[in-house]
Structure formats: C-alpha cells, structure tokens
Amino acid sequence: MLDRAHRAMEAAPGDDAARLRFYERLADAELFLLLEAEPKGETVAPQVFPLDEGRFALAFDTEERLAEFTGAPAPYAALPGRVIARALAGQGVGLGLNLGVAPSAYLMPTEALGWLAGTLDHTPDQAEGWIASVSAPQGLPEAVVAALDAKLAGLAGLARAAHLVAVGYGDARRGHLLAFEGAVEGAEAALAKAVSEALVFSGIEAGEIDVAFPGAEDPLTLRIARVSLRFDLPVPEAETVQVVTPAAPGMNPARPPKLK
C-alpha cells in the first residue's frame, strides 16, 4: 500500500524528497483503475469525475478499497501506476488515489501527472569510457543508496546482483558506477532505466551514476567485486502450476492500453 509513503509526504509538506518518493511508489505500484465499462480488447475507458479541483480518474491500491468506494461490483483494470500516468497525461485529467477510503487519499493534478509521465519516459544516455581505477564508493548521499536498494528490490530475475563502486576514467573524470552481474539478455535497458529513476526520485539534484554490464570473464568484474557495495536482487519464486489466461489490458509492455 501507499499509505506509508503518503504519510511521510504529508508530514513534511516542504520536503521535495518525500514527495518524490511517494510519486515513485505510485509509479511502481499496481493500481486498480475504475472504468466506465468492461474493457474491450486493449481499450479501457476510465470513469472520470468532475470535482472542484478539475476532472479526475480514480484508482485504488487494493481491490478492497475500490469495492469500498463503489459499494457494488464495478468494472476496473489492474495496471501499473506508471502505465496509468502515461495514458492519462495530456488529456486534461488528473488522478485521484484512494479517495474517501484510506489515509492515503490524494488528488494528483494534471500538471503533476504530466511531469511524472515525462520523468518515467526519460531514457538514459549511452556513452563509452575507459575505466582506469576502481575503489569503494565514497560520498554518495544515503538517500541515493536507499533509493537504489529499494528500486533493485523490485527487479527480481533481471540480474543476480549489482555492484556499486567509485571509478576514475582515462579522461580524468571521476564518478560512481553500478555494474550488474548476471544480467538477463535483453534486460539491460530496463536495468539502466531503473537506476535512472532511482536517482531522479531520490531527490538529489544533478545526481549521476554510470551503469555497466561486464561479462563474467571480464577482468573488470573481479576488480569491482573486491571493493563494491553489493546489492543482491531477489530471485523469482518458482512456479509449480502454469495457468494460461487472457492478458489484462496494459500488462504487455509492447501493447499499452488505449484510454479513451
């Protein structure tokens, strides 16, 4: 649930970092979006409510909270918060979260929704550099380390571990590097984007961490492992029964839902 992150944000209204952490939790959470009617294929139509603050679609972080709000069976779509933010951005509609049924009731205006969607769409830059030195990480704000730890905990199965180190490059530039160990083929872009989001939502301005995927036989891998701060990524739970069901709208990244 989003209650804890919302409570921290409300307790410190002037703390940008607390607000960013709430937005990050919202983006990563599965939300239950209230619909006008049952989904038709990949198209879903959110029910929009006119409020004094504007027009809002409503979502809840549990099915029970949605049912408490409606008081009767109602159509909905279970979607990641980031999918909902991208789909609603630019439509003149805000997002109401847990309205009337939880301490985390919150109205996210259209401007904030647009900012969140834009942030989530940001793609890290690609660059090359020769690493001249590797040492233990130093001077990183605790907020950055905590943000990385929380983000990596949600990436089960994409890699075995990540190693954070300080590095010096051949052009005299210095910085920090997160090297992924045992990354699944094809997951590199998702892992790099997750690190980028962790930095943005940590609230640290001008933060930068490079990301690399050295192979198991690369001499750099051993040098990094000796001095790194290691993050072990969760291992997915083994599935003993496979049930084939139609995919819910929005759960296929290649086919986002169409909101009308």
Domain spans of the chain, in order of start = 3-121, 131-232
On the question of pLDDT at 259 being above 90, the answer is: no
d(CA 44, CA 23): 23
* Range list of β-strands (E), the chain: 30-34, 43-44, 48-51, 54-60, 76-80, 94-97, 106-108, 131-135, 161-169, 174-181, 210-212, 229-232, 258-259
How much is the average pLDDT of 83-96? 94
d(CA 84, CA 65): 18
On the question of pLDDT at 148 being above 90, the answer is: yes
CATH classification of 3-121, choosing from 3.40.50.970, 3.40.50.300, 3.40.1350.90, 3.30.465.10? 3.40.1350.90
On the question of pLDDT at 68 being above 80, the answer is: yes
User: Do residues 161 and 182 lie in contact, with contact meaning Cβ atoms separated by under 8 Å?
Assistant: yes
The pTM of this model reads 0.76
Give 208-226 pLDDT, tens digit per residue. Answer: 899 999 998 899 999 999 9
On the question of pLDDT at 255 being above 50, the answer is: no
pLDDT at 207: 67
